[in-house]
Structure 1
Amino acid sequence: MISTVNNSSCADNFTEGQIPNQQSQRNNNRLQLQSFIDQYGIVKTRTPTINRIKKHLNKFCKTLSCISIINALLNRIPIIRCLKEYNIRTSLFGDIIAGITVAIMHIPQGMAYGLLTTLPPVYGTFAITSLMTGQAIDGASLEYSNVINNESYVLSNISEAMIISEKVGLATTLAFFVGMVQLTLSIFRLGFLTVYLTEPFISGFTAGAAVHVFSSQIPSVFGIVIGTIISHFTEIHNRHGVSVVGPIKQGLPPPISPPFKQISYLVVHAVPIAMVTLCISISMAKMFSRKHNYKVSSNQELLAYGISNTVSSFFQCFPSGCSMSRSAVQEGSGCKTQLVGGFSCLVLGIVIVALTPLFKSLPMACLAAIIIYYGMCKPRFSVLGQIDNTEIYKNIKLFPVARQFVNIKILRFDESLYACNAPFFKRKFYELIGIKLRQEPLIPYEMLNLNQNEGIRYKYVVLDCSPFNFIDTVGVKLLIEIYNDLKKRDIKLYLSECRYDVQHTLELMNFYEKTAPSIIYVTTHDAVMFIRTQSDHGND
């Protein structure tokens, strides 16, 4: 018993003796760390806020000079630098052609988008000219135009019972506040906020907008769809009550201050319009910047959009966003600099000043058809891969396990091929196989093809035609053109899974005589196996 007690006491003494040792060890560690900081570290003393402000002001004043001011202006107003470095010989022709081409698209599409705001179509043309001018002066991106797009559909939430003048007032006030929101974000350097507008968020928003845009045009498109000339000379507006655009005032309206009505209501709508517009525009700008190797500043884009929307609100315009279709056309038409916006503005100004009577008989149904057609003429292209140990080929984006072959590219166009989507088909087809097409009309075709095959690693292309319900003459001619072009590049094209109606059209158009008899296979797997057999035997 005594022994047990003594042992217990020793244990207690041992434990109690260890506690001071552990505490002293921790103190030594802290002292060692502190001594290390004292010896090798930097002692920071907190500077008063006033002193920090004075320090920054002194630094700013020392760096302030004429050169720094000029550089700041050049960075904020890129058109100045563009004019200074403009090469007339290499850029002027492309800018003029692209400007005229895009201006031709602006007029009907701008009027059509004007309908989405429940305003008369003429206000779409007013907005185009003012915003194109603002883009030419302040736009930082080279390839896309600051023009009217589907973001303006939010305005259709405004009561339809209001008279036109009140609607115009609300639209211009909304444009003003959208511009002010964008300017505020630019001043406080908040362009980084676009990172938080994720792709799923934008996709959901644009999908909802597409449904709204499509459904809003159904009442108009079921009108009598007839050309403007027939409408004018047959007077179907008076005889049959077909809605037409009506008289359009010539010239720009005089500047007038927005009425600033229902401010609290409009500000709530202005913030999401400004942010979504910016996010979509930045996405487009970054796409072109990667393609042409230049940088995009989200804060600069905010500044450009803010100035455009704020200034244009005094000319009876509604909010704007980038146009995907016209941006692609403008880039593909050979534009080189921001001056392309100025040339488009010049053409549109001439139309508004002198040619507006030509559009008064344009049926509203035609404008509705433009909007719906745009949404229907851009189907999807899929890249296919083989599921292991099967003869099944699936979209590699939906089935990541699908295997692609080294020298073979398998594509599927998820729509019938006809005149309306043929240009999109050609552009996307070449893009997916790694060939960059350039539209340089002054350069011979033979020179265009020089060095075009650099980076191409495909010798065979298989086009799965199973989605083709039909193909028209334009589609057949395009396939013949692509086949012959790829043949010059030492690339072989094969078709698979063509429906009977498609094969019949190909026969009527002498497709096999202009290409090759063995170009079409029953299934995609048959085409792939034939190619692999030929490759194994070295019969390239």
Structure 2
Amino acid sequence: MVDKDYFVEREVLDELRLNEVAQEGKWITKPPVRERVKNFFRCSVPRLKRIVGSWVPILGWLPQYSLRENAFGDLFSGLSVASLHLPQGMAYAPLAALPAVYGLYTSFFPVLIYTIFCTSRHISIGTFSVVSMMVGSVTVRLAPDQNFLVNGTNGTTVNSAARDSARVQIACSLALLTGIFQILLGIVRFGFVVTYLSQPLIRAYTTASACQVASSQLKYLFGVSIARYSGPLSLIYTVVDVCRMLPKTRVVELVVVLIALAVLIGTKSINNHFKDKMIVPIPIELILVILATVITHYAGLIDKYGVTVVGAIPSGFRAPVIPDASYFPSIAGDAFSLAIVSYTINIALAKTFALKHGYKVDNNQEMIAVGLSNGIGSFFFCFNVSSSLARSLVQDSTGCKTQVTGVVSSIVMMIVILKIGSLFQELPVAVLAAIVLVNLTLLFMQFTDVYTLWKTNKIDMVVWLVTFACTILLNLDIGLAAAVGFSLFVYIIRSQL
């Protein structure tokens, strides 16, 4: 017996009745094009508020901010994230072939800008190893050491001041162009593009990028001086050079790195094991940076053993400067690659935390937010940014409720830049290398994808392996283009079959 409640009585209309219903106005028909255009350009206060709120999300949630419910969590989380911004900013700036102080700038300005325009509440924007490495490949390619050789009393040396100045200009121009691409893509609603970048491709690319980053830190691990390569096979050239220089290893710097690695790995293991019982993870990176600086100063490691240190860190901010647009033609391809990669990483983390906490993020607004962070930050000597998994996990686990956390961490970084940053000029570079290597652990764990894909989807495994090989052999920019091309080819073949 069928329950009669499942049936819905509908009116059956013939042609005559159709005309009658249309004349009675019971059907809603589209207005003429002229009327729709007029409505599109018509302005009213509610519509204006809605448009401004969609473009500047902070205006929507900040007036409703509850101090009682959110203030303590955001304050505590902001302080915790700032303890990571400081060491990671200083550590990732050399990956971009820039002095450490520019990593501090990049941990301040873009964070504030992202807070204003983002829709995610829990991710931490700023320096990121893979993106910094991609920037470094561009700055080294366009401003290699060979272009700044000078003859002096001690032979031919590199004019480091002129080289660093040129690389900063290139990095700022790259950040501006990347930001322009991201803003334009967000305006034309191009956020859907990430759905066509498969997870195997993204994870393989970030894994290979982690290998590229690790190879760049080998010279600091052994305390040797080698050239920095860019372009195809740069990783192989770097590893060969390091192996050739192993007899000249500086034992003191090797010991410093090994001690730093042991401390970092041991403490992070404790943090992971007792994460449910600890109110906040031990900020071991910040503690290590402080201790290493103090020990280096009072033990005289620079004078006695010639330990390489960060060097001068000027206090205060520099006046904003318009980036040099003359570099745009030579960096357009790199800027577009960075625009896609940084946005992909950002939206993946944003959606992960949004799903966990039960809210939605806007793909296109996130692209615009990251684009504005890159674009506006470039005027203040910042290089490209993206979200960081390590910082985002800390931000989430320490009670973050809103992006006020970013404001708090920015205030801390402002104090560091104005007053405290110069105290870290005797920090050994080897310690920063150890911080970089340990933070790559999560990316290296993605090697297990090969085994998983072998069991589940062998075609995706092939995409993973091809992407990894292209990125390792052809460098980050060309490797990404080749990987995307191969992925599209596989997609076409799949659809045809």
Provide runs of 4+ in structure 1 moved above 4 Å.
Answer: 36-43, 377-381, 395-400
Q: 1:179 to 1:239 in 2, by over 3 A?
A: same
Q: 1:38 to 1:258 in 2, by over 3 A?
A: farther
Shift of residue 40, structure 1, vs aligned partner: 7.3
**Partner residue of 2:413?**
348
Contact (CA 8 Å) 1:221, 1:366: kept in 2 or not? Answer: no
Contact (CA 8 Å) 2:210, 2:443: kept in 1 or not? Answer: no
Contact (CA 8 Å) 1:108, 1:367: kept in 2 or not? Answer: yes
**Partner residue of 2:199?**
199
Contact (CA 8 Å) 2:210, 2:444: kept in 1 or not? Answer: no
**Partner residue of 2:331?**
266
Contact (CA 8 Å) 1:169, 1:259: kept in 2 or not? Answer: yes
SS of 2:107 mapped into structure 1: helix
For the residues of structure 1 that align with 2:352 and 2:38, how far apart are their CA atoms?
Answer: 40
Runs of at least 5 residues in structure 1 that lack an aligned partner in the other structure: 1-35, 44-50, 384-394, 401-540
Identity %: 34
Q: 1:293 to 1:267 in 2, by over 3 A?
A: same
Q: 1:108 aligns with which of 82, 87, 108?
A: 87
For the residues of structure 2 that align with 1:173 and 1:324, how far apart are their CA atoms?
Answer: 26
Q: 1:170 to 1:61 in 2, by over 3 A?
A: closer
Q: 1:127 aligns with which of 101, 106, 109?
A: 106
Could you report, residue by residue, the CA deviation over 1:172-220 in whole angstroms, capped at 9, with x for unpaired residues?
0000000000010011111111111111221221111011011110111
**Partner residue of 1:373?**
438
Could you report, residue by residue, the CA deviation over 1:391-418 in whole angstroms, capped at 9, with x for unpaired residues?
xxxx998767xxxxxxxxxxxxxxxxxx
Could you report, residue by residue, the CA deviation over 1:417-450 in whole angstroms, capped at 9, with x for unpaired residues?
xxxxxxxxxxxxxxxxxxxxxxxxxxxxxxxxxx
Q: 1:331 aligns with which of 388, 396, 413?
A: 396
Alignment of 1:298-313 (within 5 A): 298-313=363-378
For the residues of structure 1 that align with 2:303 and 2:380, how far apart are their CA atoms?
Answer: 32
Contact (CA 8 Å) 1:245, 1:364: kept in 2 or not? Answer: yes
Letter of the 1:306 counterpart:
G
Runs of at least 5 residues in structure 2 that lack an aligned partner in the other structure: 1-13, 23-30, 148-162, 224-252, 257-291, 457-497
**Partner residue of 1:81?**
60
- Which has the greater radius of gyration? 1
Q: 2:36 aligns with which of 50, 56, 59?
A: 56
Structure with the bigger RCO (C-alpha within 8 Å, sep 6+) is 2
Q: 1:203 to 1:397 in 2, by over 3 A?
A: closer
For the residues of structure 1 that align with 2:298 and 2:326, how far apart are their CA atoms?
Answer: 42
Letter of the 2:176 counterpart:
F
Q: 1:53 to 1:236 in 2, by over 3 A?
A: farther
Contact (CA 8 Å) 1:82, 1:338: kept in 2 or not? Answer: no
Q: 1:356 to 1:197 in 2, by over 3 A?
A: same
Q: 1:52 to 1:271 in 2, by over 3 A?
A: farther
For the residues of structure 2 that align with 1:129 and 1:152, how far apart are their CA atoms?
Answer: 16
The RMSD of aligned alpha carbons is 2.7
SS of 1:315 mapped into structure 2: coil
**Partner residue of 2:182?**
182
Could you report, residue by residue, the CA deviation over 1:135-182 in whole angstroms, capped at 9, with x for unpaired residues?
221121000022111212112223331511100000000000000000
**Partner residue of 1:241?**
306
**Structure 1 range deviating more: 78-87 or 157-166:** 157-166
Could you report, residue by residue, the CA deviation over 1:209-257 in whole angstroms, capped at 9, with x for unpaired residues?
0110111101112231542212112332233222101121111211011
Contact (CA 8 Å) 1:144, 1:330: kept in 2 or not? Answer: yes
Pick the structure with more helix per residue. Answer: 2
For the residues of structure 1 that align with 2:334 and 2:431, how far apart are their CA atoms?
Answer: 30
Answering whether residue 133 of structure 2 is matched by residue 153 of structure 1, we say yes
Q: 1:264 to 1:39 in 2, by over 3 A?
A: farther
Letter of the 2:55 counterpart:
R
For the residues of structure 2 that align with 1:179 and 1:84, how far apart are their CA atoms?
Answer: 28
When normalised by structure 2's length, the TM-score is 0.65
Q: 1:61 to 1:396 in 2, by over 3 A?
A: closer
For the residues of structure 2 that align with 1:170 and 1:142, how far apart are their CA atoms?
Answer: 32
Letter of the 1:56 counterpart:
R
Q: 1:39 to 1:189 in 2, by over 3 A?
A: same
Q: 1:276 to 1:39 in 2, by over 3 A?
A: farther
Shift of residue 353, structure 1, vs aligned partner: 0.5
For the residues of structure 1 that align with 2:336 and 2:320, how far apart are their CA atoms?
Answer: 25
Alignment of 1:159-174 (within 5 A): 159=141, 160-161=144-145, 163-174=163-174
Q: 1:201 to 1:380 in 2, by over 3 A?
A: closer
Answering whether residue 270 of structure 2 is matched by residue 290 of structure 1, we say no
SS of 2:433 mapped into structure 1: helix
